[in-house]
Amino acid sequence: MKNQTAKIFCGLLLALSAICANAQDAAEDAAPATVLPTTYEAMVAALPEASYDDKELLLQKISQSGNPQAPNLLHALLDGRLMATEAGKVYISQSSDEALAAKNLSDAITGAAVTGVNAESISPIGTNNRLRKGLRALCAQLDLASADADARSKAVQSIMRDLDEAGTAALRARLPLEKESSIQKSISSALALADLQSADANIRLAAVETLSGDISSEVYNGLTTLITKNDDGSFTEPDLRVRTAAAEGIRKIETRRKAYGALETLFFGLSLGSVLVLAAIGLAITFGVMGVINMAHGELIMLGAYTTYVMQLLMPQHIALSLFLSVPAAFLVSGLVGVGIERGIVRFLHGRPLETLLATFGLSLVLQQLVRSVFSPLNRSVASPEFMSGSLVINDAFSVTYNRLYIVFFMLIVFAALQLILKRTSLGLKVRAVSQNRAMARAMGVRTEWIDAATFGLGSGIAGVAGVALSQLTNVGPNLGQAYIIDSFMVVVFGGVGSLWGTLISGMSLGVVNKLLEPWAGAVMAKILVLVFLIVFIQKRPRGLFPQKGRSVEN
């Protein structure tokens, strides 16, 4: 009897559950579906209060609307720059920072500039990960039709990184319309990458042959997947022909990547060499003309870097202009300090190199402590202007940073200007005369003591200019100069004391060799090997690569 009662009770519960479920389904079917607006203006106005699911549908409709403001709106939402007021008004800002967003607004519907909006009344429209993923795809598809070739190229790369059916269809539609050969090639690669998923082995084989040699990460990963083994020991790609072609394609990609890696190492070597040349070229002048071992040269570089920092403090809204003005300012500051060092210390120790070394070493400690007292011992960061930020991307395997690229050009400009000064001016003629034969130059009426001061000031000013360049590569601190003083002497001695061309060639050579040795020897061991090489070289050629000529030099 009890069993029968329990069965009846369970049956009633099941029936009740079924009735409730049917009632809920009926209620959901009866509930009205969300009605989305159809005009562009209404869709934009609905974005702030819409749910994430509705936002996704609205954004798809906005992208298909054909409105010229649609790409700007989608990009702004993706970047966090699409703002809304409490009243539901939607604006596009140039900055994602809420504190700065209200300073440069435009109407999201018309694109017209807007002023007078209270910063506290606007906030960014929210997104989630799924919505941002869809936004990236929509932005890329819209950018495919852009008149800007660079925007179309970036759109192809964006779609290629996350291929789906919609992206593949958009690329297939764009391919016959595209006029740029480079973009056509990128689209073909993206479509071939999609064809790797085809069920037809012949299509997959043709796709692998198309992708062979393309060094992009997406292609490399796609080909690698084909030759990967599953847990049961079988290959992901069942067709032997496709696997063989994929393996050959991977080999070509790796070969090209190694070549580009060597180019990148060469560039880093040249950039390091440029820094060494800038740091050493002023020392080459003072050491060559006066025979002074200036151990405070690194601190003159440091003063140039701190001059750049101070200029940015004075012009915080004009970073690029402050950097340009820092070059003459650093030259004057370090140059005047150099003249003061020569007039106050070095001229009394002429002909006594050991005492000069000790005096300038003590001066370097004084300058370091002075900077610590004025600016504190903490490192200071110097901002880089926009044109020096980021990298010039050649391809997925080779890119060069703008700051190092500009420093290479800057070094060449400084070197050319210094050559003109020494070869085409009266000061340069007298400097060369004093460096070659001081006694004869004095007999010809050259005031060697003033030439010494001018030469020391010129070399110190160049050191200050080197500090401006270094401020764009590293933090500015009291010990900045100590990191380059030894390397500077190595460059000067290796190239030949007093030889500017020797300084240029030796600095670039040591920079490249150092970077070539670092991958397999390590940074410290690479410096040790370079130092050992220099010791051996100086034993064979004590006067360096390009020895200076002159009677006093010979003596």
Domain boundary among 179, 206, 238: 238
Question: Side by side, which strands form the sheet with 122-124?
Answer: 113-114, 105-107, 90-93, 82-85, 122-124
Q: Does one domain contain both 150 and 110?
A: no
CA distances from 173 to 70, 124, 134, 193, 221 (A): 20, 34, 19, 16, 25
pLDDT value of position 300: 92
Write down the pLDDT at residue 468.
92
Of the pLDDT bands very low, low, confident and very high (cuts 50, 70, 90), residue 395 is confident
Any domain includes 429: yes
Q: Which two tokens stand for residue 369?
A: 């402590």
User: Scanning the structure block, which residue is given the tokens 């370079």?
Assistant: 530
Q: How far apart are the first and last CA of the chain?
A: 127
Tens digit of each residue's pLDDT (9 = 90 or more) over 453-508: 888 888 899 999 999 999 888 889 898 888 888 888 888 888 887 678 888 998 89
Q: What is the largest CA-CA distance in the chain?
A: 136
On whether residue 82 sits in a domain, the answer given is: yes
The total of structural domains in the chain comes to 3
Q: Is the pLDDT assigned to residue 97 strictly greater than 80?
A: no
519-546: per-residue pLDDT in tens? 888 878 888 888 888 888 888 887 777 7
| Residue ranges making up the domain that contains 114 | 40-129
Q: Measured between alpha carbons, how far is 279 from 507 in angstroms, rounded to an integer?
A: 9
Calpha distance 212→523 (Å, rounded): 36
Q: Is residue 449 part of a domain?
A: yes
Position 68 in a domain: yes
pTM: 0.72
Enumerate the H helices of 376-447 as residue ranges: 402-424, 426-436, 438-443
User: How far apart are the C-alpha atoms of 278 and 408, rounded to whole Å?
Assistant: 10
Are residues 337 and 217 part of one domain?
Answer: no
Q: Residue 486: its pLDDT value, please?
A: 84
* Domain co-membership, 324 together with 420: yes
> How large is the angle between the packed helices 482-495 and 240-290, nearest 10 degrees?
80
Asked if residue 16 belongs to a domain, the reply is: no
| Among 502, 263, 301, CA closest to 399 | 263
